[in-house]
Amino acid sequence: MNYRSIKGTKDILPSETPLWQFVEQTIRDVFHQFNYKEIRTPIFESTALFLRSIGELTDIVGKEMYTFEDRSHDSITLRPEGTASAIRAYVQNNLGEALPLSKIYYIGPMFRQERPQAGRLRQFHQFGAEAVGSPTAETDVEIIAMTIEIYKRLGITNYSLQINSVGDEECRPRYKEILKAELLKIADKLSFESQKRIEQNPMRVLDSKDENDKTLTASMPLITDHLNEECAKHFERVKSLLTAYGIPFTVNGRLVRGLDYYTKTAFEITSSELGSQDALAGGGRYDLLVKELGGKQTPSVGFAAGMERLMMILEKKGFQPPKQSPKIFVAAADETAREWVLQTTMKLRSAGIASECDLLSRSLKSQMKEADRQQAQFSLVVGSMELESGKALLKNLTDHSQQEILLSDIVTIINT
């Protein structure tokens, strides 16, 4: 094999696209029912946008971005996530001037250069939504409820929702100092990775998977106990609304997301059906990002979710998307009928009926086999006899029944 797709990228084959299309349609249906409108942004942006929004110290920016210089020597990056582009577009196009609240969604490919593994690709697909312009807890909960509605709609029930509040620009730095001081006391006992994080990203240490780190930090102060009044109130409101909506959740005071722009609410949905990459979706509030990217101070909430991970669960459950098969296969019994068959197939298609006929000059038996393989609902065999009499047998391939029909009526018969 001479050429292969790039490591960590995958072809989505004709046998798989029906599932993709079905899932995408379900997602769009939910978004539209929550009145979110689609935004489509370019899949590459200036590198600076991601540095500024995601944060220079995050893993995404530090070691995962596909960054290159184009022929004009501009630094370009393939988007590693969707929020930065969406907010850039929001600011650039002054969407905030047209409406007090913009509810937008996106769906498409993202790129991160990591070592591939189960549930992790270099080109993967995310869907997500942003509610730009609302500070209320009601909006946080709408975003969470909408995410969950998508999984519910697809019959995925085996997930768990974890929430946290990561504070705001006032209480988070204060908490970070307290935490840092505690961590420094035991720094030499922590894992190498955690030691590196104490200075720049101390909250990450609490999120470490290292067993030893976990026990060492078991009694460390949590951000949820150090929120200022506003953040604490907001968090309480989120929790009580979730409860009121009947959405189960657990509070995880150690939850930190991989992007620096989150404030107040952060959440993650995980599934035990997945491998060690078990996050189905994540999101939260980002009240500072719009201003950071040159817009007005605009409180916002959003989430992003992985398509592939969602589909891994559906496949595991044996989920079958609706079939995309022709309604009728028109077969030619002999050479004289071939032209009629072609024309009739075209006529059926023009009438909006998915139809197929033989293009390989094959025997009638082969044509019938093809009709079966394609899972056509009906077959119609036409030869010189039928052309002469103007009648033919229409066969239902599911229940094997046949009925004689007038060739001139074929379109209306199939249409009913």
By CB under 7 A, tell whether 4 contacts RNA. Answer: yes
By CB under 7 A, tell whether 118 contacts RNA. Answer: yes
Q: Between residues 184 and 232, which has the closer beta carbon with respect to RNA?
A: 184
Q: Hey, which residues between 159 and 188 contact RNA (CB under 7 A)?
A: none
By CB under 7 A, tell whether 276 contacts RNA. Answer: yes
By CB under 7 A, tell whether 381 contacts RNA. Answer: yes
Query: Rounded CA gap, 130 and 120, in Å?
Result: 23
By CB under 7 A, tell whether 204 contacts RNA. Answer: yes
Listed residue (175, 144, 171) closest to 254, CA to CA = 175
Query: Rounded CA gap, 136 and 307, in Å?
Result: 28
State phi, psi for 398 to the nearest 5 degrees.
-85, -50
Burial 331-344 (b: 16+ CB within 10 A, else e): bbbeeebbebbeeb
Near RNA by CB under 7 A: residue from 119, 133, 167, 253: 119
Q: Which two tokens mark 190?
A: 């922590």
User: Around Cβ 8, how many Cβ atoms within 10 Å?
Assistant: 17
Q: How near is the Cβ of 100 to RNA at its closest, in Å?
A: 27
By CB under 7 A, tell whether 362 contacts RNA. Answer: yes
By CB under 7 A, tell whether 334 contacts RNA. Answer: yes
Cα angle, residue 195 at apex, residues 190 and 199 outer, rounded to 5°: 140
Q: Between residues 24 and 64, which has the closer beta carbon with respect to RNA?
A: 64
Name the DSSP class of 71.
T
Near RNA by CB under 7 A: residue from 87, 203, 241, 281: 281
Near RNA by CB under 7 A: residue from 16, 182, 210, 230: 210
By CB under 7 A, tell whether 84 contacts RNA. Answer: no
By CB under 7 A, tell whether 343 contacts RNA. Answer: no
DSSP per residue, 19-70: HHHHHHHHHHHHHHHTT-EE----SEEEHHHHHHHH-TTSHIIIII-EEEE-
SS3 label, residue 306: strand
Site track for RNA across 282-301, x = CB under 7 A: x-------------------
Q: How near is the Cβ of 280 to RNA at its closest, in Å?
A: 5
Q: Which residue has tokens 């709408």?
A: 142
- Interface with RNA by CB under 7 A: which residues? 4, 7-8, 58-60, 64, 81, 112, 114-121, 124, 126, 193, 197, 204, 207-210, 256-259, 268, 275-282, 304-306, 308-309, 333-334, 362-366, 368-373, 379, 381-386, 392-393, 395, 397-398, 400
